A and B are shown apart, each in its own frame.
Chain A
Amino acid sequence: MKRFRPLLWLLWCLIIAAPLVFVGLEYEWGKGLWNATLRTDRLRFLVSDIPAWVGGHWLDVIGVLVFLGAVVGFLKLWQLTAWVQWRGEVETRTRGRVRQAGAMIVVILILTLSCRHLADTQIEWGVMVCTYILLALGLNLIVGMTGLLVLGYAGFVAVGAYTFAVLHQQFGLSLWLAFLPAALVGGLTGFLLGLPSLRLRGDYLAIVTLGFGETVRFLIKNLVGEQSIIISRPARVPSLMSENAAWRWLFPDGLTRLKTELWVAVALVVLSIWLIRNLTHSRIGRAWIAIREDETAAAAMGIPTVRLKLLAFTLSAIWAAVGGVFFVAHNTSANPEMFGFGESVLILSMVVLGGMGSGPGPIVGAIVLYLLPEVLRERFPVLISYRPMIVGGLMVAMMIFRPQGLVGSLRRKIELKEEQP
C-alpha cells in the first residue's frame, strides 16, 4: 500500500481536477453521438489565470496585504486604547465619553472630506460598505453573540426590502416612514420563524433558516412578482442643495443624493454600533454569551435560553430588515434575485472573517470582503466572479487556522478551539 502512495496521490489529483474539463455542448446530437467537443480552455483559470494575476500584480498583492494589516492594526490599537482607559485613573465613564466624542468627530471629518473630494464611484463603495456593515452587525448578533448559525439571513433582508417596496408601490410610502413597518414585519418574521426552530439543535436551525431564505424568495416571486419594483425618486434619500454660504463653503458641490446616502448610511452604522455595544455589555449580552458557551449550563443557571435566543433572532431580523430598506432605497429597485443564498453566505463570511462575536469584527469583514474586490475590480477584472470561491475557501481556512477571526478575542479562540472529550 505504502509503495503505491505517489500513484494514488496522482490518481486523486486527476479525479479532483476532472470537473475542470469543460465540455462544449453546442454540438448537435441529431447527427449522431460523436459530435461532442472537449475543451480544456477552462483549465486556464487554474493554470494561468490565477498565477498571472499574482505574477503580474505582485505589487498590488503586497499593497492589499499592507492594507489588510493596517485595518487590523488600527482596530487592535483601538481595542488597546479601551484597555488603557479601563486601567487608567480617570473615571471610566468620562474617558468613554471623550473617546466616543473623539470617534464621532473623526467620523464626521472623514465624511465631510470624503464628500468634498471623492468621486462618485468611491462614495458608492462607501454606501455599500456601510450597508454591508449594517447587515453584518445584525447577523453577528445571532451568529456571533448567541452562537446560532443562520443561513437565510438574506431572507430577512428581503422581507424588509419588500415591505418597503410593496408599501411604496401601493401607498407611495417613502424611505423614512418605511423603516418602522419594515422593522416590525422583519422582527415579526424573525420571531415567528424562531418560535419553532429555536428549540432545535444548531445544525437543524441552520438548515431551517437555509430553507427559509429560499422560501422567502419563492414566495416573493409568486405573490409579488418577478419583475423589479422601482422606488421612485421622492421616496428615496433626497439631495441636500442649499445656497447658504456656510453650506456652500463646506460642500462646494452641495450634497447630491448619493452623498446624502453616505451620511445616512454612516449614521445608521454608528447608531447600530452604539445600540449593539450597549446591548452586548448588558445583562442580555452576557446571557447570550453564556448560551453560546454552554447552553445547558446557561439554562441551569436560570437563564431563559429560548426567550433570549428568540430575542437575538428577532433583533437580528430587525437589523436585516432595516438594512434591506436602506439597500433598496439606494439601489432604487427591488428584485427577488438580489436576496439569494449567495448574499447570505457573503454576509456570513464577513462576520466569520472579521470575528464572530467581536464588536469590530463584522466591520472589518465587510470592509475586506466588499471593498477590497471592488477597489481591485479594475486591476483584477475577474476577481468579482471569483469572489464567492475565494470566500468559500477563506471560511474553511479561517475555521482551521484562526477561528476567532481577524480581530477576534482570545476568549472566542479558546471557545472555538476547545477540546471536547
Chain B
Amino acid sequence: MKTLLQLDDVHTGYGLTEILHGVSLTVNDGEIVTVLGANGAGKSTLLMTICGVNPTREGDILFDGQSIANRPAHEIVRAGISQSPEGRRIFPRLTVRENLEMGAYQSGRLDNLDRMFTFFPILKERQKQLGGTLSGGEQQMLAIARALMACPRLLLLDEPSLGLAPLIVIKIFEIIREINQAGTAILLVEQNANMALHIAHRGYVLETGRIVLADTAPNLVNNDQVKKSYLGA
C-alpha cells in the first residue's frame, strides 16, 4: 500500500509553549487511521499543523511524497487534504449552499453539490437556510460535506461525534465508513475511542504531544493500557 501522508518528527506550538514534541505517523492510501488521546494531548493541534494553520517548527510533513510543511493552508487544500474541524466551524451567516460552495473554493467542483445532496438529503432541504440555524448533527454533516466538496484524497476529521446524540453518532460513523469505501483516506481524531477503533484500520495514541502507542485497530482494542485509559473497561 502506498504511503499518502507521512509526518516526520513534527514539532509545533503556540508562542513560547511547544505542544507537539516530535510526532511521527503515516496514513496509507484507502486507510482509516485514528488518533486517540485525552483532552489537551495535542490532537487538534496535530490536524491544524497538517493543514498548515499552525507552523511546523521542526520536522517535515510529506503528502504524496511532497513536503507540505509550512505551506499556506490553501495550497495544502489544493494538494488534496481537507479538514472537518473540531466544533464543526460552520460559517454561521452563510447559507448551507454557500457553505458547501466555499468547500469547493479550490477545486471549483460545484458539480459535487448534487453528490453531497444525495449523500446528505437533509442538507438539500436546508440549502437556503443560514448555517448557524442548523442542529448539531446537521452541522456535522454539513462540515463533512463541505470538506468533501474539495474532492480530497485525505480527509481529516476532528471529533465528529462531539456533542451529538448517540443515534446520530452512529449515523455519522456509518457515513465516515462509506466515504472511506469510496476511496478517500481518513485521519480520524476522536475521544470516543470505542467507535473510532471500531471503524479504523490502524490507530495511534497521543499523550502530551508524543505518540506513545501505534498499532492496528484490533490490537489496540485489546491493549490493556488503551482499555484502561480510553475504553473505560
Touch A–B, Cβ below 8 Å: yes
How many chain A residues sit at the interface, stated as a range, is under 10
Residue of A nearest to B54 (CB): A421
B1-49, CB < 8 A from A: 14-15
Report B2 CB to chain A, min CB distance, Å. 31
Contacts of B14 in A (CB 8 A): 419, 421
Residue of B nearest to A418 (CB): B15
* Count of A-B residue pairs with CB < 8 Å: 5
Report A418 CB to chain B, min CB distance, Å. 6
Residue of A nearest to B45 (CB): A421
Contacts of A421 in B (CB 8 A): 14-15
- The proximity string for A residues 391-421 relative to B, scoring 1 for CB distances below 8 Å and 0 otherwise, is 0000000000000000000000000001101
Report B48 CB to chain A, min CB distance, Å. 10
**A117, B14: Cα distance in complex, Å:** 58
**A419, B14: Cα distance in complex, Å:** 7
**A418, B14: Cα distance in complex, Å:** 10
Contacts of B15 in A (CB 8 A): 418-419, 421
Residue of B nearest to A417 (CB): B15
**A419, B17: Cα distance in complex, Å:** 11
**A418, B15: Cα distance in complex, Å:** 7
Contacts of A418 in B (CB 8 A): 15
Report A294 CB to chain B, min CB distance, Å. 13
**A421, B49: Cα distance in complex, Å:** 13
**A421, B14: Cα distance in complex, Å:** 7
- The proximity string for A residues 174-215 relative to B, scoring 1 for CB distances below 8 Å and 0 otherwise, is 000000000000000000000000000000000000000000
Contacts of A419 in B (CB 8 A): 14-15
Report A161 CB to chain B, min CB distance, Å. 45
Residue of A nearest to B48 (CB): A421
**A419, B15: Cα distance in complex, Å:** 5
**A412, B15: Cα distance in complex, Å:** 15
Report A417 CB to chain B, min CB distance, Å. 10
**A51, B230: Cα distance in complex, Å:** 70
**A421, B15: Cα distance in complex, Å:** 8
**A421, B44: Cα distance in complex, Å:** 13
**A144, B40: Cα distance in complex, Å:** 35
Report B128 CB to chain A, min CB distance, Å. 34
- The proximity string for A residues 61-76 relative to B, scoring 1 for CB distances below 8 Å and 0 otherwise, is 0000000000000000
Report B47 CB to chain A, min CB distance, Å. 14
- The proximity string for B residues 163-181 relative to A, scoring 1 for CB distances below 8 Å and 0 otherwise, is 0000000000000000000
**A318, B15: Cα distance in complex, Å:** 38
Report B211 CB to chain A, min CB distance, Å. 23
Report B99 CB to chain A, min CB distance, Å. 24
Report B19 CB to chain A, min CB distance, Å. 10
**A250, B14: Cα distance in complex, Å:** 62
**A415, B14: Cα distance in complex, Å:** 14
**A418, B17: Cα distance in complex, Å:** 12
A17-43, CB < 8 A from B: none
Report B86 CB to chain A, min CB distance, Å. 14
Residue of A nearest to B14 (CB): A421
**A377, B15: Cα distance in complex, Å:** 45
**A162, B15: Cα distance in complex, Å:** 48
**A419, B57: Cα distance in complex, Å:** 14
Report B34 CB to chain A, min CB distance, Å. 25
Report A312 CB to chain B, min CB distance, Å. 27
**A421, B53: Cα distance in complex, Å:** 10
**A267, B15: Cα distance in complex, Å:** 44
Residue of B nearest to A414 (CB): B16
Report A415 CB to chain B, min CB distance, Å. 11
**5 pairs, CB–CB < 8 Å, chain A vs chain B:** A418-B15, A419-B14, A419-B15, A421-B14, A421-B15
Across the A-B interface, the 5 shortest Cβ-Cβ residue pairs: A419-B15, A421-B14, A418-B15, A419-B14, A421-B15
